[in-house]
Amino acid sequence: MSVYFISDLHLKPERPDLSRAFSSFLSHTAQGADALYLLGDIFDAWIGDDAPVPGIEPLVAQLKQLSDGGCKIYFQHGNRDFLVGSDFTDRIGAELLPEQTVHTLPIGKALILHGDQLCTDDQEYMQFRAMVRNPAWQQQILSKPIDERIALAKQLRTTSQERTAEKDDYITDVNADEVNKQLNKADVTLMIHGHTHRPAIHTFDTQGHEATRIVLGDWDTQGWYLKVDHDNYQLISFGIADAP
C-alpha cells in the first residue's frame, strides 16, 4: 500500500513550472498509489469554485483520472485555499477533509492537518484565521462579484507576505505545546502537516511516549512529498526544473 502527501504547492498562473511539476508528479510518481493527500495551499489563492485558478483544467483532469483509477484523493483546506468547496472536490474525485483528522496509515494512526492552526504564537494570524474560517464570513465573500474577490485575494496575499516578513521565525512556526496538546487530544503519536515551509522529521517525547512530527515542504525551486509504504516512510525532495 502506497500513500502520498503533498502541500503548499501554491499553484498560480505566474508559475507554470509548478503546474508542470505537479502534472509530472501525478502522471509518474503517484501512478498506482492507493491514496493521495492534498494538505492545503495547493493553490496560492482560491476565490471560489465558480472562479477556479486559470489554467488548471489539465490538472483537474489528471486528478480525476487518478481518482477514477482507484486512488483515494483527500483535500484539506490551507490558509490560501480555504474557499475550496465540494463542487471542486467533486470534480477531482476527492473527499474534503475537516481541519484536522485522524487516519490509519500503513505506519499507524496519524493526526493530519494543514498546520496553520498550530502556530498559536502568531496571535495576529490566529485572529485572522478565525475570521476567514467563519462560515458567515465566507458566504459574504462568495456572494461578491468575481472581480471584487480577485482584488480582495490580492490584498490579503500582499498583506500576509508583508506581515510575515516582519515576524521572528519562532512566531511563524508551530508552538510545541500546541503540538503536544493536539497529539494528546487525538491520542496518537504521529502528526503530518505542511504550512510552515520547514520540511523536516521531528522526534520528541510527549507524555512518556516517543512522537513523530513530519513536516511537508513547499514547492518552489524544490518540490516535496511524503511517501508512506508498508511500514516505512520517506520525505522526498526533487528539483522542480528536473520534473520530466
Please write the tens of the pLDDT for every residue from 80-139: 999 999 999 999 999 999 999 999 999 999 999 999 999 999 999 999 999 999 999 999
Question: Which pLDDT score is estimated for 161?
Answer: 80
pLDDT band, very low/low/confident/very high, at 27 (cuts 50, 70, 90)? very high
Question: Which pLDDT score is estimated for 196?
Answer: 96
Question: Which pLDDT score is estimated for 157?
Answer: 82
Question: Which pLDDT score is estimated for 43?
Answer: 97
Residue 159 clears pLDDT 90, i.e. is over it: no
Please write the tens of the pLDDT for every residue from 172-190: 999 999 999 999 999 999 9
Residue 32 clears pLDDT 80, i.e. is over it: yes
Question: Which pLDDT score is estimated for 243?
Answer: 82
Question: Which pLDDT score is estimated for 81?
Answer: 96
Question: Which pLDDT score is estimated for 162?
Answer: 82
Percent of the chain residues topping a pLDDT of 90: 88
pLDDT band, very low/low/confident/very high, at 213 (cuts 50, 70, 90)? very high
Question: Which pLDDT score is estimated for 52?
Answer: 93
pLDDT band, very low/low/confident/very high, at 1 (cuts 50, 70, 90)? confident
Percent of the chain residues topping a pLDDT of 70: 100
What's the mean pLDDT when you consider all of the chain? 95
Please write the tens of the pLDDT for every residue from 108-125: 999 999 999 999 999 999
Question: Which pLDDT score is estimated for 197?
Answer: 96
Total-model pTM:
0.96
Q: What is the 3-state secondary structure (H, E, C) of the chain?
A: CEEEEECCCCECCCCHHHHHHHHHHHHHHCCCCCEEEECCCCECCCCCCCCCCCCCHHHHHHHHHHHHCCCEEEECCCCCCCCCCHHHHHHHCEEECCCEEEEEECCEEEEEECCHHHCCCCHHHHHHHHHHCCHHHHHHHHCCCHHHHHHHHHHHHHHHHHHHHHCCHHHHCCCHHHHHHHHHHHCCCEEEECCCCCCEEEEEEECCEEEEEEECCCCCCEEEEEEEECCEEEEEEEEHHHCC
